[in-house]
């Protein structure tokens, strides 16, 4: 086996890579112990399995608004995003004015695959 400068360089490189991997593993381990997960920030336990359902494209049509309203009112979804600008945004805006506690976000639409929504 060759024990010249290339071998020495390769050994040093292997040690450096191994050290970096150990450091990375330790930092991930420390981070997971100190930073609570998003579910924990919402009040769930560290071992709870949580599914958050978010309704997208609200305001796109009357039926999408109706489905979104039913999903939130029945506890199926916890939030939604209103798609701007769409034909039925005024309907959902009226609903939100009467129900301001609903977690509502903005889905900004700059492009569209439909010609009538451009």
The 10s digit of each residue's pLDDT in 87-96 is 899 999 999 9
Residue 112: the pLDDT is 74
Residue 90 pLDDT: 96
- pTM of the model as a whole: 0.60
Quote the pLDDT of residue 58: 95
Residues (pLDDT < 70) of the chain are 1-11, 29-34, 116-118
3-state secondary structure the chain: CCCCHHHHHHHHHHHHHHHHHHHHHHHHHHHHHHCCCHHHHCCCCCCCCCCCCEEEEECCCHHHHHHHHHHHHCCCCCEEEEEECCCCHHHHHHHHHHCCCCCEEEEECCCCCCHHHC
The pLDDT value given to residue 110: 78
């Amino acid at each position: 086996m060759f024990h010249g400068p290339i071998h020495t360089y390769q050994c040093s490189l292997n040690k450096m890579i191994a050290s970096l991997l150990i450091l990375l593993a330790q930092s991930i381990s420390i981070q997971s112990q100190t930073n609570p997960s998003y579910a924990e920030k919402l009040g769930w336990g560290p071992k709870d399995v949580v599914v958050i359902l978010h309704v997208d494209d609200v305001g796109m049509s009357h039926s999408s608004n109706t489905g979104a309203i039913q999903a939130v009112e029945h506890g199926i979804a916890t939030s939604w995003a209103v798609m701007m600008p769409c034909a039925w945004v005024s309907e959902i805006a009226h609903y939100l004015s009467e129900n301001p506690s609903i977690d509502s976000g903005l889905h900004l639409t700059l492009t569209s695959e439909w010609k009538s929504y451009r």
